[in-house]
Amino acid sequence: MRAGQERLLETYLPDIQITVPPDGTTIDPAAWFTPNASEVWLEIGFGAGEHLAWQATNNHDVGFVGAEPYLNGVARLLSAIESDRPGNIRVLADDVRPLLQAMADGALARVFILFPDPWPKLRHHRRRLINTQLLDTLARLMRDGAELRVATDDQDYLVWILRHLQGHPAFSWTASCADDWRHRPADWPDTRYEDKNRSGGPGSTFLRYLRIPRTG
């Protein structure tokens, strides 16, 4: 990590950092933004922050919460947004799960999980981020009609993701043809991670699911 990035972790991160209350208080994430955001979108594991920064720049009325446990990634995001310092980004530099448990029901209008670690070895599958427990939590947090975007370039993990999402009663896949998952939407920017990892194989898959409206 560069000295400039270390400085940003000390001087800039405290201005936009989220802390999870230890007393079980329920969090309304819209209150982190002034004025209150029209919607709140969450990116889980934002890596170097390129996607998060692009979305925040192009959606000024939306409040963005980014969770990333690795400080190198957090530092790279801070470097990318330092000059503009957008007011619609908040960062959790930690595991996202305690934050999810503290959030109010229906607080999120969109969730991004982009290229999570596939943990390819069979004995490590239990560490995969996408599982039934996470989807149950997101189903509680996402408002009716909210969008879940998931991307992966690992074919084995893709099968795992589809099995879990297709089997979950709260989510509906938006795809109607192959192009819907082979090609990114216009508002889904490319990242250096994808460029670096392209190898002429099947490539990346872009999944979009909607939170099915609740009944009763």
CB 16 within 8 A of CB 40: no
**Which contiguous run of DSSP H or E holds residue 188?**
none
Catalytic residue among 117, 136, 187, 190: 117
Q: Which residues contact 11 (CB under 8 A, 6 or more apart)?
A: none
- Whether residue 117 lies in the annotated active site: yes
Q: Which residues contact 111 (CB under 8 A, 6 or more apart)?
A: 41, 42, 43, 44, 138, 141, 142, 146, 147, 148, 149
Share of the chain residues as helix, strand and coil, in percent rounded to the nearest 5: 40, 20, 40
Determine the longest span between alpha carbons in the chain, in angstroms: 55
Catalytic (active-site) positions: 117
